[in-house]
Amino acid sequence: MEKRRVLITGGNKGIGLAVARAMLELGHEIVLVARDFSKCPLVGIANVTAIEYDLSNIQDLPTLAQEVGDIDILINNAGYMQPKYTYDNYPKEAKEHLMNVDLHAPVELMNLLSPYMKKQGFGRIVNTASIAGQIGHPDVWYGIAKAGLINATKIYAKLLGPNGITVNCVAPSAAQTDMQKDNDDARKAAFKAAVVTNRFAEPEEVAKAIVWLATDCPEYINGITIDINNCFYPR
């Protein structure tokens, strides 16, 4: 397999870290973007570049893109939810911060990093959406952002596909990551009860789908969403 340069947002932990480890095993060069690398086990090892950046800062994304440089594979993985807020009590600042990280930043990174892919006639983009973007979700703006990312995936697949670039996404249900610390026990129990094996997805399970979409996936598979939800939302 040809060595590629891979950017993974939110690659310091959880699903993003699992993707980074898998890509390293395949021999690729990895660029990680996240707010905090203090607990990231990949910092300082060969073929890994770590860039500290807050993806809610949309204005300076062009500067980030310049620092990252040319890449072949973009994994828009960073995202978070805010279950402490309700639909009728969601502060404007909290809404805007979430939408920036979960939707606006991935779209802008596709805009900023696809020109090199177009120039070389090859690129792979994978967006980490969520089942929250497919069904009604109690964290209203998280669900809206992920639904937008699923739609953006379809749009950019059509726009970039003629240039040899595939754009796909995954939509996992709850996974065993740090995001679960924001959910109370009742909500976590409800998530588990909704799947047939009564457990959260492991980050590595989601990562396998992302890595396949970014590497071995045929070019004719473009603009799709892979459901990873263990019968939570079978269709």
What pLDDT digit, counting tens, does each position of 186-234 carry? 777 877 788 889 888 899 999 999 999 999 999 999 999 999 999 999 9
Asked whether residue 82 is domain-assigned, the answer is: yes
SS3 224: coil
What local confidence, expressed as pLDDT, does residue 135 receive? 93
Q: Of 80, 142, 156, 233, which one is the catalytic site residue?
A: 142
Say if 234 falls within a structural domain: no
pTM of the model: 0.94
Task: Give the pLDDT score at 183.
Answer: 64
Residue with tokens 């991935």: 106
**Domain containing residue 162: CATH number:** 3.40.50.720
Q: Which domain holds residue 13?
A: 5-228
- Quickly count: other Cβ atoms within 10 Å of residue 234's Cβ: 8
Residue 31 lies in a domain: yes
For residue 179, the model assigns a pLDDT of: 62
In the residue annotation, 220 being an active-site residue is answered as no
Q: Is 92 inside any structural domain?
A: yes
In a domain, 233, yes or no: no
Q: How far apart are CA 104 and CA 97, in angstroms?
A: 10
Q: How many structural domains compose the chain?
A: 1
Question: Does a structural domain hold residue 25?
Answer: yes
Report yes or no on 33 lying in a domain. Answer: yes
Percent with pLDDT over 90 in the chain: 83
- CA-nearest of 169, 177, 147, 186 to 224 is 169
CA distance 223 to 153: 6
Spans of the chain, pLDDT less than 70: 177-184
Residue 116 domain flag: yes
Confidence (pLDDT) at 138: 85
pLDDT at position 145, please?
98
